[in-house]
């Protein structure tokens, strides 16, 4: 069983899981051209059961969204083994907001200044959408 997968411009290992959801998984990968680390979202069989127009609309929306508080889309490519499309995004290494809040040092929440900064960034991203 091969753990290494790829698309024309990116490669990732299925053991480098960043997260999993209802429609697929996100892996840490690398741009073949420059070695830049990226996040690669692959889709499972459940996601392929959605109508193709719904899938394409999702890709079109992702292409249009550009904001400093929203993860940047780098590419949409076909996997080389014919498994379908993958979404390549910038890799955010700071961890998720959930993980930050779940950290024992934040048991009683964030400081007021940190909380206000998070709310400001979240609302700016949501407003843009």
pTM to 2 decimals?
0.81
Encoded tokens for 126: 């949501």
Q: 4-93 architecture in CATH?
A: 2-Layer Sandwich (3.30)
DSSP letter (8 states) at residue 1: -
Angle, CA 83 vertex, CA 72 and CA 39 arms, to 5°: 25
Q: Alpha-carbon dihedral of residues 122, 69, 22, 3, nearest 10 degrees? A: -150
Domain extents in the chain = 4-93, 94-129
54-94 confidence digits (pLDDT tens): 778 888 888 888 888 888 999 999 999 888 889 999 999 87
* 41 annotated to bind ligand: yes
The SS3 assignment for 101 reads: helix
Residues 6+ away with beta carbon under 8 Å from 116: none
Q: Kindly state the average pLDDT of the residues 12-30.
A: 92
Q: Kindly state the average pLDDT of the residues 88-108.
A: 86
């Amino acid at each position: 069983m091969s753990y290494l997968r790829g698309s024309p411009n990116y490669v990732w290992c299925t053991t480098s899981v960043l997260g999993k959801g209802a429609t697929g998984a996100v892996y840490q990968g690398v741009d073949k051209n420059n070695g830049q680390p990226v996040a690669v979202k692959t889709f499972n069989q459940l996601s392929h059961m959605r109508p193709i127009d719904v899938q394409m609309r999702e890709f079109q929306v992702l292409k249009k969204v550009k904001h400093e508080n929203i993860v940047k889309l780098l590419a949409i490519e076909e996997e080389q083994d014919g498994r379908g499309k993958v979404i390549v995004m910038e890799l955010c290494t700071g961890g998720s907001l959930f993980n930050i809040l779940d950290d024992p040092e934040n048991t009683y929440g964030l400081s007021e200044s940190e909380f206000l900064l998070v709310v400001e960034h979240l609302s700016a991203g949501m407003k843009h959408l």
